[in-house]
Structure 1
Amino acid sequence: MRKFHRNQPFCRNPLPTRGFLAMKWPAAAVATAFAAALMMSTASAQAVPVPKPAPKPRADVPKQALPSPVIPGPSAATPPTPIIPDLRNLFGGNTPTFDANQKALASKVSAYMSTLQNVSGNFVQVGPDGKRSTGDFYIQKPGKIRFEYDDPSPIALVADGSSVIVRDRRLATQDVYPLSQTPLRYLLSDRIDLMRDTNVVGVASDDMFISVTIEEKQPLVGTSRLMLMIGAKDNQLKQWTVTDPQGYDTTVAVYNLDTTKKLDPGMFRIDYTNYQSNQN
C-alpha cells in the first residue's frame, strides 16, 4: 500500500508541495469530516476622477476635444483569511441528535450543494504546518474538479468523474486514486442528502455561516472529519476543513465564485501518457 503525505491531497508521505485535502488516504473508503469558517472582504471601490474644466478657447488655437475620464471597474474580492477550527475536540463521541431547525439547516446545505453544478473561482489553502498556498479551482458535476496551485508549486489535482490524480509537473509524475475512495465524492455528487447519505455529527449556524460536519470511521485507519461551511446570508460555499485520522487539519477557503462561466470539458481529462502514474 502506498503511503501519502498528510498535507497533500490523498497522501501520507511528503510530496514536493502541499495538497488539496491533506488526508491520509487508505486503500479502503476514505474517512471524512466537515467544518470551517472564513471571512470574505471586498476591496473598497476606487474614487471616480473628476475631469478639470476645459480652458477658455483662444482665438489663435484650434479647439481640441477633451479626453473622457477613466472610470475604474469594480475590484475583485480580496483573498479571505481561513479560520481553522479544531475538529478533534469538537464532539464528545456520543451519537448526536438533531432538532427540527438543525435538520432544516442540513437540508438547506444539501439543496445548495446539489444545485452547485458548475463553478470556478480562487482558493486559499492552509496546511497542518500553517503553510499558505493559493490557486484556481474548477468544478463540473458530476465528479469533475481541477485544482491548479500558483507558482512555485508544481502540483495540480484533477478528477475526471471516476479517478483522481495528483500531478507533479516538476517530476512528471502523478498518483491515481478512485474517486469513490476520497471525500471529493461528497463535494462532486450530482445530488446529495447529507442527513441520509453521510454520517452527520454536527450542524451549527450563526449570523455569518451554516456548517455541517460529517464523520467516517475506519477500523484500521481511524476517524476523519470534514466540515463544510456556507454563508448564512448569500448561501455560497465559503470553506471546508478536513481532519485526517492522525489529527492534522487542512483548510481550503474559496472566493470569487463564478457559476456562469462555461468550462472546457478538456480541462478535466487525465493524461496517462506523459506522466508516470502510480495506481492506488
Structure 2
Amino acid sequence: MTHKTDRAAGLPALASRRQFVLGTAAFMALAALPFPGMAATDAAQQIADHFSGVKTMTGEFVQFGPRGEQTGGKFFIERPGKLRFNYEKPSPMRVISDGKNVVIGNSKLKTWDIYPLSKTPLSMLLADRIDLGNQLVRDVKEEADLTTIVLGDRTIFGESTITLMFDPKTYELRQWTITDMQKKDTSVMIFNVQNGVQFDPSVFEIPYAEVHGQKRGG
C-alpha cells in the first residue's frame, strides 16, 4: 500500500521543513502568557499523564501549513516513538517515525530526508511518559472548554516548541502544534480517534535501503 504525506509532518528542527502547529494567531496569543504557577503545572501534568497513558491511537486529521495550505489524511501513533502520516493524494510525501529516526519521503522526486527523532519535538509528543518537569512547560492556559500546554526544551530542539490542546473534561488531545525556529507553524486537528488499536509492525517500518541508497547516489 502506498502511503502519502503532504508537508513534512511536524519536523521543526529538521532543516526548517514542515511542522505541526495550531496556527500563528493561537500561538502568538499563548506566547504572551506568563509562565504557569504550580497549580497550573499540576493540572497540565495530570492531562499529560492521561494522554501518554494512551499507548496506541489512530484517526483522521486536517493539517494547515505555514502558507495556509490544507490537506487531510490518517495518522497512526504507537508509544514510544512511532508515528506514520498517510496524506491524501495528490501529495507525494510520506512521514514515518520508527522510534529512532524520522524520515520524510517524496515519492515523486524519489528523495528522502532522515533525522534523529530525539532532535525533534515529536520525541516529546511520542514519549512513553510526557514529563512536564525540568522547565519544559513554557505556558499553560486553562479555559472551560480547552486546556493548552506549550512545551519547549532548548537542549533538544533549540527555540522550537510544541503546543498541545486538550479537552479539559475527557483529557483527549484535540490538536497539536509545532513552531520552528523561524516561527513558522503548521496546524494539525485530529478527529474520529480510536485508542488501543493494534498495528502491524510494518506500519512504522522505514525503508532504510532506499533512504541510504539515495544518499549514496547523490
TM class, shorter-length: 0.7 to 0.9
Aligned partner of 1:19 in structure 2 is: 8
Unaligned runs of 5+ in 1: 1-15, 37-82
Deviates more, 1:159-168 or 1:84-93: 84-93
Unaligned runs of 5+ in 2: none
Aligned partner of 1:249 in structure 2 is: 185
Aligned partners of 2:114, 2:135: CA distance in 1, in Å? 24
* Structure with larger Rg: 1
Does 2:103 match 1:165? yes
Aligned partner of 2:145 in structure 1 is: 208
Could you list the structure 1 runs, at least 4 aligned residues long, displaced by more than 4 angstroms after superposition.
Answer: 275-279
Deviates more, 1:198-207 or 1:176-185: 198-207
1:106-151 CA distances to partner (integer Å, 9 max, x unpaired)?
1122212320211011111001111101111101111111111100
8 Å contact from structure 2 (residues 144, 168) kept in 1: yes
Does 2:57 match 1:119? yes
Identity %: 33
Structure 1 residue identity aligned to 2:37? F
1:146-177 CA distances to partner (integer Å, 9 max, x unpaired)?
11110000111111111111111222221111
Aligned partner of 2:112 in structure 1 is: 174
Aligned residues: 208
What CA RMSD, in Å, does the superposition of the two structures yield over aligned residues?
2.8
Give the match's secondary structure for 1:137: strand
8 Å contact from structure 1 (residues 35, 211) kept in 2: no
Aligned partners of 1:208, 1:233: CA distance in 2, in Å? 8
Give the match's secondary structure for 1:185: helix
Matches within 5 A, 1:218-237: 223-237=159-173
TM-score normalised according to structure 1 size: 0.66
8 Å contact from structure 1 (residues 176, 277) kept in 2: no
8 Å contact from structure 1 (residues 119, 140) kept in 2: yes
Out of 198, 205, 214, which is 1:262 matched to?
198
Aligned partner of 2:68 in structure 1 is: 130
8 Å contact from structure 1 (residues 119, 261) kept in 2: yes
Aligned partner of 1:87 in structure 2 is: 27
* Greater share of residues in helix: 2
